Amino acid sequence: MSEMQKTNLDIRCAELGRELAKKVADEKVFNQALAVLEEQGPYAMFLYLKARHDKVAGAICDAFREFLKETFSGRLDGTNDVLDAVKTLAEDLDALLFARDLLRTALSYARYHLKAGGGGAS
């Protein structure tokens, strides 16, 4: 069992949320990303971020890509773009839905960290 598989994924999502809140101190971005994720899915969410929030999309997409690579160890090797990672995960519906749930959780935690103040500072 890999080290990531031993990690509590809720805690890992909370850590990612804190990291995102430090990088992007704009709750509006997270709210809009969550809305697109809920309605259209992960691929659309990342496209939306790149199209509408290009100044912060790189940081968000890179953080999520690394998180997904760690979580789905081995499955996403060689993917250098978050859109490619999502396409790979889409080959398995269970993996895609699980990834969507993890993304939703991390984005929610990012919002909570911003609401708590200090851009996610602990």
Write the pLDDT tens digit of every residue in 13-34: 999 999 999 999 999 999 999 9
Q: How far apart are CA 68 and CA 19, in angstroms?
A: 15
Within a domain: 30: yes
Within a domain: 22: yes
pLDDT single digits (tens) 58-98: 999 999 999 999 999 899 999 999 999 999 999 999 999 99
Q: Please, what is the average pLDDT of the chain?
A: 92
Q: Indicate the number of domains in the chain.
A: 1
Q: Cα separations (Å) of 105 from 2, 34, 101, 115?
A: 22, 10, 6, 15
Give mean pLDDT, residues 37-60.
97
Within a domain: 23: yes
Within a domain: 1: no
Within a domain: 3: no
Q: How confident is the model at residue 7 (pLDDT cuts 50, 70, 90)?
A: confident
**Which helix (H) or strand (E) segment is 118 a member of?**
none
Rounded to two decimals, what is the model's pTM?
0.89
Q: What is the pLDDT of residue 42?
A: 98
Helices 93-116 and 27-40: crossing angle in degrees, nearest 10, is 160
Q: Is the pLDDT of residue 1 over 50?
A: no
Domain containing residue 84: 8-120
Within a domain: 45: yes
CATH number at residue 68: 1.10.520.30
Q: How confident is the model at residue 118 (pLDDT cuts 50, 70, 90)?
A: low
Within a domain: 38: yes
